[in-house]
Homo-oligomer: A and B are copies of this chain.
Amino acid sequence: MSEPAAPGGGIAKLLNPASVAILGATEGANRVGGRVLRYMLEAGFQGPVYPVNPGRDTVQGRPAFATVGDIPGTADCAILAIPARAVAESLRACAAKGVGAAVVFSSGFAEMGAEGRRLQAELGDAAREAGVRLLGPNCLGAFNAHLGFMATFSSNLLGNLPVPGAVGIVSQSGAFGAHLYSLARQRGIGLSYWVTTGNEVDITLADCIAFMANAGDVNTIVVYAEGINDPDGLRAALDLSREKRKPVIFLKVGRTEAGAKAAHSHTASLAVSDVVCDALFRQTGTHRAETTEEMIELAYACQMGVFPAGNRVGVLTMSGGVGVQMADVSIKSGMAVPELPADLQAEIKGLIPFAATANPVDVTASAMEDTSLLTRTIDMLLDAPQCDSVGAFMTPVAATDEFTDQLVASLAQSRARHPDKPFALCMPAPAGIRARYEAGGNMVFDTPERAVDAFAALARFRAGFERGAGDPPPALPAGAEPVPAEAVGEVAAKAILAAAGIPVPREVLASDPDAAVAAAADMGGPVAMKIVSPDIAHKTEIGGVLLGVAGADAVAAGFATLMDRARAAHPGARLDGVSVAEMVTGGVETVIGAQVDPTFGPVVMFGLGGIFVEVLKDVSFRLAPFGVDEARRMVREIRGFPLLAGARGAEPADLDALAQALARVSAFAAANADRLESLDINPFRVLPKGALALDALIVPKGR
């Protein structure tokens, strides 16, 4: 749908315009075009603003123009506060005047049925032909708070214009975008850009994310999405954001089937896509928020731009129990609360004899009698190499003017020594006091749990930044075969996997008993025998599999048994013979799958065999292709991972072999995205040394 996300491209005309025309600007500020002009004037936009209104000489005290053609020079951006039916024509007039980008608020397009879709397609064509980048239609517009550029009529800004800052917001929904705006404003978060994309006939979420990833005045990107119109662009934009070390906090609705149904979409495909969205977020180091509040609190934390090097938290508290609660929450968030070294503990005891010093450090209420003890203890925790983040639970004394002066000054010094260590105070405090702490890059949260959640998320972002794109996906081996056009049997499927570098057991297709006996003898030891037929999918159900067959007589008899059973169960089936394979015992049964998601393309799934996949849905997904390191993370994500690591006294499974196989499957799936419907390796047996695909099913597209 969209143009490639050229950094700063046409979107700069939209979000950093030097001049603006408002089509449909009115005198009354209660109407759409009037309110836009009012906001723009109130916010002090410095460039020329041209109201376009054929019925007036001036609008809100500014000279007005009858048509966009009448404005002097050009306008980088035109805001179209006009009815849907007039939009396409106006857009052409704008283009003729050299306008680079347009904002279209009007509804009455694709959201309104067939006629609306036709109108919208026409609008998209008009924009592309004219070379004008278009935001909307059916959107609530955008703003650039640093520039005072207010291309929105949202009532949430009434008497409540944005405070400039470093957080960018992109939302498909206007109503939700406005809600986020109000919450951010209430939380004291400064904003740079705010964009609602609406029907996305041209500019998508991905375009805006990419723009913000490149923008110097954004350090944190907050995204709300209902659907993904530009999956490749989105992946590229999220990768770019990580490369630029800008955290992306993403709320994607439609997580549950009921949610998906509520979205009036095809349930099944959306439900799968949601799992795939999760995979995309994990691969790109994007934080998927579960709630609106989580988004806001994390945006608040990220805007400070301080990302801890690790997951170890130092906790200072004036209540032992709160320390315990913060430790609980830390562990649940995957953080550690390391015991402090003995010398540091002794030092703290030296200051505050009755303090608990292990970490959490409980300075007790007695420290309030001499608040310098508090600031010195906080210094010690910030200086401790054992703490990557430091949180302090405070009584309201920390919200007094005197103590705020003292602590802010002390923090300025200790934070300068440790610019990578976030510090958070936990206390309800008036906005003025908060602001003084925040000005020094310190966070203030109402509750201790939010501080810990923030530390955990900041550490995950940092890990994602450091990891970057990770190791590249493996190349397919030279002799790799494509997915065939027609369904193939198990033996052929495994041969295709083997050619793609995925290990399979030694196996021979025997067309008569003698060949089977010779193959078994060649392998030595017991063998597994299976009927091979392109017409028999479920071998086990007809007794078509014999395991642990040992000795020439048994192998010969087995051949006859399998052929008899197949003929009896499927009289007309073509029988290719019997496969004879080395028996593989021990290890852990896993399942590797690949399918092609309608939105995101090829995707790889991993899980443990049996109930783990079928009952517990304990699986992990990744977009293909990916490297071995990503595969390792994918494996560790499942709840049943301890079974691979050697639970219950078992030998640990060969995780390297497993990760390599997953990465190779991802390369195979990616190379066959156009030919593949699905691939199932079940079981993929992971041994203490090595791993093998014991059965495989490849379904070509369109079968």
Contact = CB atoms under 8 A, between A and B. Distances in A.
Contacts of A395: 155-156, 175, 178-179
Interface stretch (A319-327, A519-527, A560-568, A694-702): A319-327
A403 to B, nearest CB: 11
Contact of A175 (B264, B318, B354, B614): B318
Interface string A294-322: 00000000000000000000000111111
Nearest to A173: B321
A540 interface: no
Contact of A226 (B176, B254, B320): B320
Contact of A328 (B182, B256, B321): B256
A673 to B, nearest CB: 29
Given A173-B320, A254-B324, A616-B640, A396 B447 contact: no
Nearest to A616: B639
Identify the 6 closest CB pairs spanning chains A and B, nearest first: A175-B319, A259-B328, A262-B327, A253-B324, A256-B331, A291-B449
Interface string A255-266: 111111111100
Contact of A325 (B251, B324, B332): B251
Nearest to A319: B175
A443 to B, nearest CB: 16
Interface stretch (A121-129, A641-649, A660-668): A641-649
A320 B397 CA distance: 44
A256 B325 CA distance: 9
Chain A facing B: main interface SS: helix
A256 B291 contact: no
A611 interface: yes
Contact of A324 (B183, B259, B359, B614): B259
A358 B396 contact: no
Contacts of A329: 290-291
A109 to B, nearest CB: 12
Nearest to A647: B615
A388 B224 CA distance: 29
9 contacts: A158-B396, A173-B322, A183-B447, A256-B332, A258-B328, A262-B337, A263-B321, A264-B358, A293-B446
B321 A112 contact: no
A69 B205 CA distance: 76
A331 B254 CA distance: 11
Interface string A645-656: 001100000000
Contacts of A34: none
A186 interface: yes
B321 A253 contact: yes
Contacts of A337: 258, 262
A447 B261 CA distance: 22
A426 to B, nearest CB: 8
A356 B320 CA distance: 51
Contacts of A192: none
A133 interface: no
Contacts of A447: 183, 291-293
Nearest to A332: B256
A428 B224 contact: no
A356 to B, nearest CB: 7
A389 to B, nearest CB: 15
A562 B428 CA distance: 71
A26 interface: no
A396 B155 contact: yes
A359 to B, nearest CB: 8
Contacts of A264: 356, 358
A93 to B, nearest CB: 27
Interface string A444-464: 001111100000000000000
B259 A327 contact: yes
Given A292-B447, A331-B256, A611-B643, A155 B321 contact: no
Interface in A607-664: 611, 614-616, 639-640, 642-643, 647-648
Q: In the complex, which of the residues A325, A428, A450 has the most CB atoms of chain B within 10 Å of its own CB atom?
A: A325
A648 B319 contact: no
A332 B256 CA distance: 8
B256 A327 contact: yes
A262 B366 CA distance: 20
Nearest to A337: B258
A636 to B, nearest CB: 14
A449 B293 contact: yes
B360 A262 contact: yes
Contacts of A260: 324
Contacts of A648: 611, 614-615
Nearest to A263: B324
A99 to B, nearest CB: 26
A11 B102 CA distance: 70
A558 interface: no
Contacts of A226: 320-321, 324
Contact of A258 (B182, B293, B331): B331
A53 interface: no
B321 A258 contact: no
Interface in A385-436: 393, 395-397, 427-428
A174 interface: yes
Contact of A321 (B224, B320, B360, B615): B224
A330 interface: yes
